[in-house]
Amino acid sequence: MTTATPTVAVGTQKTDGTPSSTAGRVRKRLNSRTATLVSIVIAVVWTIPTFGLLVSSLRPEDEIKTTGWWTAFTNPQFTLENYQQVLFGRSSSSGQLAGSFINSLAITIPSVLFPLAFACLAAYALAWINFRGRDWLYIAIFALQIVPLQMALVPLLKFFSTGVTLGGVTLMPAWDLVDEQKFAQVWFAHTCFALPFAVFLLHNFISQLPGDLMEAARVDGASHPKIFRTIVLPLITPALAAFGIFQFLWVWNDLLVALIFAGGGDETAPLTVQLAEMAGTRGNEWQRLTAGAFVSIVVPLIVFLSLQRFFVRGLLAGSVKG
């Protein structure tokens, strides 16, 4: 606002005020310039560790292990050998992360879709279908959000491995899954753990749709399934995207659930499990750790950067509206 005059009406300007003197204007600009400088410096410092990892992952093994990554700028030597090794390496110690990458995908996609669909249906029923005990049911599901998933791990694992017997009668046989079939366990666990938050988040959106719209559809004779499919679903796409991104990041980045329900075998272990394993047993093999870490980071980073808008919206809706 360089052309601002002191007579500008109060309230028409949102920010920046109207510094009446030249000194005031200079100070203001200086202030915002300092703020810019400081905030950029902090942002850069914040990014340095990640940047260092990326640079290191591109350096030859000997270089990584003997000199700091910052020397790469004075003595540039770059290679893709580390990625080649860590993704497709022959020895089992190299990680063979290409397989884990596929495991991560195979775990993540259904683990996002199932809770999304189920929570959507449930949230619609809780918001727009009248039935007795609706509010109590919603509160109960809402409250389940606070149960740490640690509370469910031991019995759930037992449920998969031995099934359910009540008084000598087998209600549900053991799942007895081997190798890649174990993905089903992980999907199941992730779906269960995600549902309370998913229902809560989607209910926030669905319950705010205009009631007139629903009423009009009902008067026209549309049934609940029809309203759900043709009116509600198209309107809540942003919310679906928000939850989808949340759940994607959560599942892709999860270690605990995968560790317990997928196991550490090459057939099922996702990237996080393999990396945690590598960090524990081969903690000094930085050429593999850096490249491996970057392989695991790159997908969520792309998802996150391209869909940041939805993510932030979901974050604010989920946490602030409460």
**Residues in 203-222 that interact with other proteins by CB under 8 A:** none
Rounded to whole angstroms, the Cα distance separating 162 from 168 reads 13
Rounded to whole angstroms, the Cα distance separating 254 from 95 reads 18
Looking at the Cβ atoms of 118 and 217, the one nearer to other proteins is 118
Residues 276-305 that bind other proteins (CB under 8 A): 276, 279-280, 283, 286, 289-290, 292-293, 296-297, 300-301, 303-305
Rounded to whole angstroms, the Cα distance separating 206 from 120 reads 9
Looking at the Cβ atoms of 241 and 315, the one nearer to other proteins is 315
Looking at the Cβ atoms of 148 and 167, the one nearer to other proteins is 148
For residue 269, the minimal CB distance to other proteins (Å) is 11
How many of the other CB atoms lie within 10 Å of CB of 138? 19
Question: Which of 6-14, 74-82, 203-211, 236-244 is the region at the interface with other proteins (rule: CB under 8 A)?
Answer: 6-14
Which x/- pattern, by CB under 8 A, does the window 216-255 give for other proteins? -------xxxx-xx-------------------x--xxxx
For residue 102, the minimal CB distance to other proteins (Å) is 5
For residue 150, the minimal CB distance to other proteins (Å) is 4
The beta-strand segments (E) located in 75-186 are: 164-166, 169-172
Q: What angle do CA 226, 229, 233 make, to 5 degrees?
A: 145
Q: What angle do CA 147, 150, 192 make, to 5 degrees?
A: 65
Rounded to whole angstroms, the Cα distance separating 194 from 264 reads 23
Residues 134-193 that bind other proteins (CB under 8 A): 134, 137, 141, 144, 146-156, 159, 179-181, 183-184, 187-189, 191-193
Residue type, 256: L
Residues 56-115 that bind other proteins (CB under 8 A): 56, 64-71, 87-92, 96, 98-99, 102-103, 105-106, 109-110, 113-114
Looking at the Cβ atoms of 240 and 293, the one nearer to other proteins is 293
The beta-strand segments (E) located in the chain are: 164-166, 169-172
Which x/- pattern, by CB under 8 A, does the window 114-133 give for other proteins? x--xxx-xx-xxx--xxxx-
Taken in order 212, 216, 218, 222, the sign of the CA dihedral is negative
Give Cα 14 distance to the centre of its chain.
34
Looking at the Cβ atoms of 236 and 275, the one nearer to other proteins is 275
Pairing mode, if any, of strands 169-172 and 164-166?
antiparallel
